[in-house]
Structures are given as structure tokens and as C-alpha cells.
Chain A
Amino acid sequence: MNSLIILLFILGGGALLSYFAFLSKHAFGQAVVWLVAIASPVYFFTQVAVGESFSFSLGGFELALGFNHYSWVFALLIMVLSPLSLIYSTGYMKSRLRLGTFYFSFIFSIFGMMGILMSRDLVSLFIFWEIMTWASYLLVIYRGKDVEHTGIKYMIFSAVGAYSMFMAIVILNREMHSFDIATVIQNFGNMNAADQWLTGILLLIGFAVKSAVMPLHVWAPGAYTNTPTSFTAVFSGGLSKMGVYGIGLVLLNLYSHSDFSQVGIYLAWLGAITAVMATFRAVFQNDAKKLLAYSSVAQLGYIVAGIGLGTELSVFAGIYLAILHGAFKGTLFMAVGAVERQAGTTDMTKISGLIKNMPWTFFAALVAIIALAGIPPVGGFVGKWMLYEAAINSEHMFLVILIFISSTAAFLYSFRFLFGLFLGQQEEETAHIKEAPAVMVVPMILLSLFLVLMGTFPGIIFKPIAAGMAELGFQGVPWHMSVLYNMWGDSVNLTYVSITFGTVFLLGLVYITLIARKGTKHKLSTKDIHTAGEIPKPEDNLNYSLDFYKPFERVLSPLLKHKLDVYYNEFGKGLEALFNFMRRIYTGNGQTYALYVVVFLVALILLSGRIFGI
């Protein structure tokens, strides 16, 4: 049997099996989840390869599966991130209800993502896309929080995206008489301009919804926050990348060969604006998970900007950042989930100083934050370097400024996140908190080590990306295992950088543990303060995370006052008024209905000349 089918079978069958296993006994269910989490990546990395294909006919459509080098890059990310999150889930979701539904949706959405990546025709792409969407919807509403608002919003935006994609697919089929993606790419330039414009834009809308590009991003912060955190890691880290994957396909494979190659620049602008706005919102969040949710939107903005710019280096940076973002945002969500589970909240104004309670979680979060902020020796530095260089080269200076602003502001929330949760004075209330169980810590640590590896030897991921770039029309992209080149002719050997940073880090660690330890011995508490005559009441929140960036917030508040959400809500209200009006057509009065019948017949007879053209 074909290895692609077996992989899909492991995931799809695993999803169903886990549902029924949890119905019978908890331990069975747990065993199935572990089995899937181990079997799928092992099978994927040993048996599946680019170039294998499988085609079949279903319902009168010729469908084909098979990875190419481009989708392979994303498949690598999914197959590393999702199994780790699944294992993490077995710890995180312990003693929750409806685990069958949870794991079914979790594994089924992985099934959907892998399906999307291996689809070679638009019908199967759409099928897997929809499966991924509804499976993730079930997870967004899993906790039952805010179902009517966040859940429906996610579904509406996903449906709008999916259906615009659907429309593009059937129109493309009309022009090409084929759903095959390769055929579509080949013949796209031969279509008339209006159809090229329409189908491309519709496809872009579909993909942009998932990658949360403004103005289609409003679902994302809420949905990311409401999902159980172990899935948020995949949701923000992997699932959103499906949108990035698609945007790459449309912009570089379809539009770059047509008159609409400029569309990418506009998308890059949208991405950069998304990045700036979301970064500022992230800075002012009190909830660590919400902070990460906004940060995800911001980071996706960068990635889209990179791909939108459309130069060799920027696309390379975009894809690299996409993979990297999957890894570090996955780690961060896992860390927040560990805190959530152990401390019962993710509100940064309620907890602090968890570094002593949860050192491993802190370590993972630290590495991931370093990656996010783009400081060497972790991979984020490499990605940022390339993106800056590409942006500066592209001569869109204002775009460069936006990217600079948002990545600088990202330091603010990075610092706040790390400081708010892990550093500072430890409160008595949080003293009892213990480190998360090993099933949760080990996946985090593994992912963070992967991040360090990517910083030192970015080549391991450059290689597949460079191969994938060939599919997008950039042949022979140069790359090196651990050396970066820039347009000014300089080169940076990352091995030395890493060694330097690693040594400094180690020395610092030694200094703190051996020499400076005494300094930290003196116990301080936020309650232990001297006030200027005013004694704080016990209910006053004295946590320093409260109003962390207050002066800054005051400056920016006019800018942040306008939420796009409000406009959508107003639009929704307007529609509801229309629906109510429509509803009045059905008066419930039989005589009125009879009148409708007569009037309709008379109207038809009067208009018959028009209708039948006589």
C-alpha cells in the first residue's frame, strides 16, 4: 500500500479510534493517543518522501496526493510540532471531560493539515481544508467558553475564507477543465485578466483568513485564547501556516507569472500593518495566553510580509520564520499551558516569580522568547536578519520602518511575558506551585533545543527550504549550514556566534549560582512595602505586572481605541435587522399567503412577455 495513504490512515484511523477508546476506558484512549503521537512521526520520517504519489478517482473527480519540496517543508513542521503537542496534551488534559471529542478533533485536524500539504489537486485540498477547519472549530469551542461569540466568529471567518476559495476553485476548473494544481499553475497565465484577478484574490482571501492577515484577523486572538492550550500550540504554530503555505502558492506560483505580480506588495503591506497593530495590542495584555495570541497574529504578519515581498531572500526568510514561529510559539504556548495547569491562571497580575517553582518551563520559555525577539544564538536572529535585509533591499522604506517598529515593540511584550510569569518577587500564594509533570516538560524542552539547533546550524532547515523554493520558481537558492551572507558582502559564522553566546550564558549561570546567590537570598514580598502614609488594603493588587507599560499605553491608547471588531459587529447587527425584516414576510396569516399566491401569478402573467421574450 502507498505510504501516503498509510500515513493518512494512521492519523484518520487514530482520530476515530481515540474517540471510541475514550468512550470505553480512559487508559485505552491515552494509549491510542500515545500510539498516534509516536507512530505518525516515525512513519513519516522513515517511510514517506517527496515524490511519492497516489492518485484515485472519487465521485467522478481525479484526485491525486503527493508531497512536493515546498509542502514538505511545512509537513516537517507539522510532524514535529503536532506529536509533541499530543504527548504534552496527555499531561495537560488529564482529568478533563469529553477527552474523546478533544483527541478526535485534535488528531483529525492534524489529518486535515497533512492532507492539505499532500493534495495535488484543488478538490482534495478543499476537502482537507474543510476537515481541518471544522475539527479546529470543535476545539475552539471545546471549553464551552463564549461559544456564541468566539466560536461563531471563527466559523464565520473560516467559512467566508473557505467559500471564497471554493468559488475560485470551480471557476479555475471551468477555465482549465481540471482541478490539478500543476495544470492550474501552468495555464494560469493563459486565462483572461478578469478571471486571473478574481480567482487569485478569492484564493488569497481563503488563505489569508487562516493566517490572520488584516482585516480578516479578528477571529484569531479570541480563538487562540479559547482553545485548550495544548492545541493552541498546534493552532498558532502549525495550522495558521496552512494559510502561509497557500499564500505562497498563489502569489509565487500563480500571480508572479501574470499581470498581477504587484498584489504581493499590497499583501506585504497588510502583513506589516497587522504586525504593528497586533504587537501593540500584545504589549498591553494582562493575560499571558492572550499576549501570545496577539503575538501570533503579529508574527504571522511578518511572515506574510516576507512572502508578499516576493524576492528570493524575503520568501526564504518568510518560510524560515514560518517554521521557526511554529517551533517557538509552540514552546511558548506549552509553557503557558504548564503555568495554567500548575498555577490555575495565566493572568500575569496574579502570579509572579515562578522561576524557582518551574525552572524547566522557564528555560523552555526563555529560549523561545529569545527566538521570538530575534537574539542570537537562537534561530530567530537568522530569520530576522534575512527579513530585514530583504526589506531594505526591496526599497519599500516605509515597510522597513513598520517591520522595525513592530519587532522592536515585540521586545516589550517578550520582556513582560518572561518577567510577569517567571521573574520578580515570589508571592506566598504561589509558593506551593510545583513543576509541571514530565510529559509536559519534555516536549517543551525538546522543542527549545530544536530552536537552539536551528540558531547554530540553520542549514538543517535551510536545505529543505531551498529545495522548496525551487517549486516556487527560485532555482538554486544558495545556503550554507551555519554561515550567513549579506548583500554587503559580509559573512557571519553562526557557530562562533553561538559559542560566544553560549559561553557568556554559561559563565553568567555559574556567576549567579556560585557568587551572586547570596544577593538573592533576601526574601522580599510585594506586601512588604513602606508607603507614604497610605497603607494598601489586603485586596489591592500590588503585583508589579499591573499597568506594566502604563505611560506607554496612555500614549498609544488613541491609536488602539478603534477595533476592527466593532465594525464587523455593527455590520452583523445591520444584517440581523435585515433578517428580521425578511421574517415579517411570513406573517402567519393564511389570507396573506393566499394573497401572495394570487399576486405572484398575476405578476408572472403580466411579466410573461418579458420573461419569455415575445
Chain B
Amino acid sequence: MVANPILYIALPLFTAFLVPLLAKLWKPLVRIVPGLVLAYLAIMSVVLMQQVSPEKPIIAMIAGWKAPWGINLVFTSFSGFIASLISILAFFIWLYSFGFKKVEFDDAQKYFILFMLLTAGSIGVVLTGDIFNMFVFIEITSLSAYALTAFYKGRDGAEAAFKFLLIGSFSSIMLLLGIAILYTYTGTLNMAHLALLMPQVPMHAKITSFLLFFVALGIEAEMFPLNGWAPDAYSQAPGPIAASFAGILAKAGIYALIRVSYTIFDLGDHGGFELLLVMGLITMVVSELVAMRQENLRRMLAYSSMGQMGLIMIAFGLGTKEGIYAGLFIMFNHAVIKSLLFLASAYLVYYTSRKKISDLDGFGKLLPLTSLLFGLGAFAIVGLPPFSGFWSKLSLLIATANSHMEFVLATVLAVSVIEIIYYFRVLGRLYFRKAHKEIKVRKPTWNSVVTMIVLALVIIAVGVHPDFITGLLHNAATDLADKADYIQKIIPDLFSQTLN
């Protein structure tokens, strides 16, 4: 098969624009073709992940221009892992939403176009080796995310999308400013080249630019206090989109934040990592405490999601290889588990307009399988063995302890107790309350059942036998930790010149 990183972006983008034309031919094609494309990308991810290793990244040049002059896509063990995660997850979210809006054809068409754009943009952010290109992809992702937030016509959706747009435009401006500052001093936009030239940039410009990046990407990565948009967007978007916000959008955001702090800037050891760690800690504590008091299920999951993002920032903020490994593990788990939770919750609150937790009473009997899968997700996300969440929590705690950060360790664990409380409260309602009278229940379709079961099986499989993915995670961590290697692999000539 043709396996090239460029296809990750070209195929979904092309499909997105092709969908309206396909609709003229035969309406079901609107649903089928995106799935075929995503399936191809998912298989391609498996193929490419087998080829790639920390020593041998796959680099694709666009239009034959060599870096740093041309735009390149870099599929390394690290970026490739995230890109594969996103594309495989996107395929399953497509499978889940295959029958979405069966009756209203226009809505379905919009949905699939926007979903393909979201996927293409997110993978683009992860794979690109060019900072301006990253900005463009972030814009593509954000624009489709705004539109998807406002998908259900109504006041709430529009309001949520507007907030998202407002904060998102701050992000774009700051990102552009940050890029402009770097370009002024280095004259390049290639990430590897930027990293190489970074020592020449004056300190004040470097710090200003870094902080602009930090805030702009912090918005995308749901960092406190920049995450005001997230709860509204998560709760107003359609169910599968909420899952892709957690599994795809937020992953691209945190990837960008990490790439910028680890590879491009050299401020990590001079306070950059500490900043990330502290902000991660605050994000986690605030989000989990707020999640505790939510009455709306989707908002609760959204705050919990933000809490997990905080956990990821803590892991990467440790700045050690163990920390990176733990962070990647949490990213993986969060993508899989939170998607399962969002997908299952979409059916649990299907007919209730306010999506309240108190409306869930007795659903364990009404929707046994969906409730069971939701429960499994809840067990996994709070880190109970033998589910996958446990191993990521274990690796994070080991990394934290090894960095001699007892306070962070204690805080993470204390917050975990809170997490257990609010998730188990929902489970208590699902299983141990009598159902309200005359409640309408939406039975899950077969394709969404398959999706949720596959995600659940992944959670159990990794939980029982984590070695399924630890190898990939180790490679990815090794890859991200070695910055010089990244530069050397992409611009070997310039790198050796600088050395000499």
C-alpha cells in the first residue's frame, strides 16, 4: 500500500471537499467515503508505526523542497504515535456516528465535512515540521471545531461556539505574534532550524515569544485559566464530537505545546518546564474540584477531561524521560477512555435536554450494556487496576517521586480521591436508583455498540497486558527527549555546519 505521511492530511482534506460532490451521486456516499478514508489512514498508521524508530524517522518533503526551505512532514516515533492515535480514534468515532442524522441529510453532510476537516487539521498539527504550517493547521482545526460546537441550532450551541471563537481568536493572534517574533530574529519557520538557531535569539524576545506560544497553545490544551471555552463546547457539541474534542483536538493542542516547549525553545530547564508543571497542577486541581460540583453529565466529563490535561502537563513538566513516558501513557489512556465515556454518555442523556446527572437514575437496567461500558470507563479513568488507567497513573507517580516532588505526588493523589467520588456518584445513580417514570430511552445502534466495545476491549487489554503499548511509548519518549537528534535528522547539513 502507499504509505506516506502526506496522505494523512491530503486524503481527509480532499474528502472533505469531495463530500458535497459525492452527495450529488448517491447520498449514502457522504457517510461511507469518510469512513473508507479514515480506515485507510488507520491501517497506514499501523504500517508506518512498524517502520519508524527513534533512529529512523520518516520525513516527507512537500514539492521536493528540502528543509528548511520547504515544508516538511515529520513522522517520528513521537509525532507518529500521536498521529496514529488520532487517526485510529477518528476511525472509531466515524464508526460510532455512521448513522448520525439519518433523516436530515444536510446536517449529516455538514457533520462529515467538518469532522474530516477537524481530523485533517489535528493530524497536520502533529506531523508538520514547520511552525507557520502548524498555525494554519490549528486554524483549520479550530474553525471546524467552532462550527461543530454550534452544530445544534439553538441559543446554547451558538453561545458556546461564540465563546470558543472569542477565546480561539486570542489564541490565533498570540500564536501569530509569537511566530512573527521568532521569524524576525531567525529568518526561518522550520522547527528544527528554529531550534538550531534558538541560542542566537536575545533572551527577552525568546521569553516573550515563548510566553505567547505558551498562552496560545495553552488555550488549545485546555490549561487553566484559559479553558473557559471547554466546558461549554464539550457539553453543546454532538456526543461523538465531544469525544473527538477530548481524543483529537485536545491531543493536538497538548502536542503543539509540548513540541514548542521541548524542541523549539531551549527554556525548558530554565523555568519553562516548571511553569508547565505548576500550570498543570493548578489546572488539575481547579478542574477536578469544579467537576465535583457539576450537575450536568457532559460538563462533569468536560471538567474531568481538563483535569486529565492538567495531569499530562504535570507529567511533561517534570522534564525527565520517565515523565514524558508517563505523559504519553496518560495521553493514550485519556484519548481512549474519555472517548468511551463521552460516547456512552451520549446515549445515557439522549432524550434529556439538560443532560443532568440526576436524570440517570436506574439506567443500569434500561441500558445495561451502555451503563456497564460507562462504568468500565469510570473505573479506568480513576486508575483502578486491572484497567489501563492504572498503569499510566503508576508511571506518572513513579516519575514524580523520582523527581523528588512529594508535594506534587500528594496533590495528584488527593485529587484522585475527588475524581473517584464524583465518578462513583454517577455509577451509584446508574445502578442503585429507581428509574424515573415514563423515561424515554434511546437504544444504541449496532455500530456504536461495536465502537464502544472495541474501546472497552482496548482498555482491558492494555490494563491486563500493558506491554502492548509500552514499547511504542518508550520509543516515543526517547525520540522527544533527544532534541539534537531531531534537528540532525531533519537538517543534517545545517546541523553539522553549526557543530563545526
Contacts and interface: CB of A to CB of B under 8 A. Distances in A.
Contact of B413 (A167, A578, A588): A167
Interface string B290-320: 1011100000000000000000000000000
A4 to B, nearest CB: 17
A144 B271 contact: no
B107 interface: no
Nearest to A168: B401
A48 interface: no
Given A58-B466, A586-B231, A612-B207, A156 B420 contact: yes
Contacts of A601: 174, 211-212, 215
A562 interface: no
Interface in B405-425: 406, 409-410, 413-414, 416-417, 420-421, 424-425
B177 to A, nearest CB: 10
A173 B322 CA distance: 14
Give chain A's interface secondary structure class: helix
A155 B424 contact: yes
B374 interface: no
Interface string B205-249: 001100110110001000001101101100000000000000000
A171 interface: yes
Q: Which of B286, B379, B398 has the most CB of A within 10 A?
A: B398
B267 A612 contact: yes
A355 B428 CA distance: 39
Contact of A151 (B203, B274, B416, B424): B424
Interface string A571-614: 00000101110110110101111101111110011001001111
A605 B272 CA distance: 13
A611 B425 CA distance: 40
B312 to A, nearest CB: 18
A586 B384 contact: no
A492 interface: no
B390 A579 contact: no
Contacts of A604: 211, 214-215, 275
A60 interface: yes
Interface string B82-99: 000000000000000000
B446 interface: no
Given A59-B470, A601-B212, A605-B211, A583 B290 contact: yes
Given A593-B228, A597-B219, A578 B289 contact: yes
Nearest to B420: A159
Contact of B398 (A173, A588, A612): A173
A163 interface: yes
Contact of A594 (B166, B272, B413): B166
Contacts of A597: 167, 170, 215, 219, 225-226
A159 B286 contact: no
A612 B271 contact: yes
Contact of B416 (A147, A163, A582, A612): A163
A160 B214 CA distance: 34
A614 B203 contact: yes
A170 B409 contact: yes
Contacts of A130: 384-385, 390
A174 interface: yes
Contacts of B432: 141, 144, 147, 151
A600 B428 contact: no
B439 interface: no
Interface residues of B, number: 65
Contacts of B397: 166-167, 170
A164 B413 CA distance: 8
Nearest to A170: B401
A576 B289 CA distance: 9
B83 to A, nearest CB: 24
Interface in B246-286: 267, 270-272, 274-275, 286
Contacts of A141: 428, 431-432
Contact of A174 (B170, B401, B416): B401
Contact of A148 (B166, B270, B414, B425): B425
Interface in B375-401: 379, 384-386, 390-391, 394, 397-398, 400-401
Interface residues of A, number: 57
A119 to B, nearest CB: 12
B465 A170 contact: no
A312 B394 CA distance: 37
Contacts of B267: 612
A152 interface: yes
A293 to B, nearest CB: 20
Contact of A152 (B211, B228, B290, B421): B421
Contacts of B356: none
Contacts of B203: 612, 614
Contact of B167 (A155, A160, A590): A590
A340 to B, nearest CB: 20
A590 B402 CA distance: 41
Q: Which of B170, B379, B385, B466 has the most CB of A within 10 A?
A: B385
A578 B390 CA distance: 28
B211 A579 contact: no
Contacts of B421: 152, 155-156
A408 B413 CA distance: 42
B198 to A, nearest CB: 14
B162 interface: yes
A472 interface: no
A131 B386 contact: yes
Contacts of B208: 605, 608
Contact of B166 (A159, A590, A613): A590
Q: Which of A60, A144, A174 has the most CB of B within 10 A?
A: A60
A151 B428 contact: yes
A89 B290 CA distance: 42
A141 B364 CA distance: 14
A611 B208 CA distance: 12
A372 to B, nearest CB: 33
A146 to B, nearest CB: 9
A493 to B, nearest CB: 50
Interface in A46-60: 57-60
Nearest to A612: B271
Interface string A168-209: 001101100000000000000000000000100000000000
A597 B170 CA distance: 8
A134 interface: yes
Contacts of A58: 465-467
Contacts of B110: none
17 contacts: A60-B466, A134-B384, A141-B431, A151-B432, A152-B425, A163-B414, A585-B225, A586-B228, A586-B231, A593-B228, A594-B166, A598-B170, A600-B215, A605-B208, A608-B207, A611-B275, A613-B271
Interchain residue pairs A-B with the least CB separation, the first 3? A593-B228, A59-B466, A170-B401
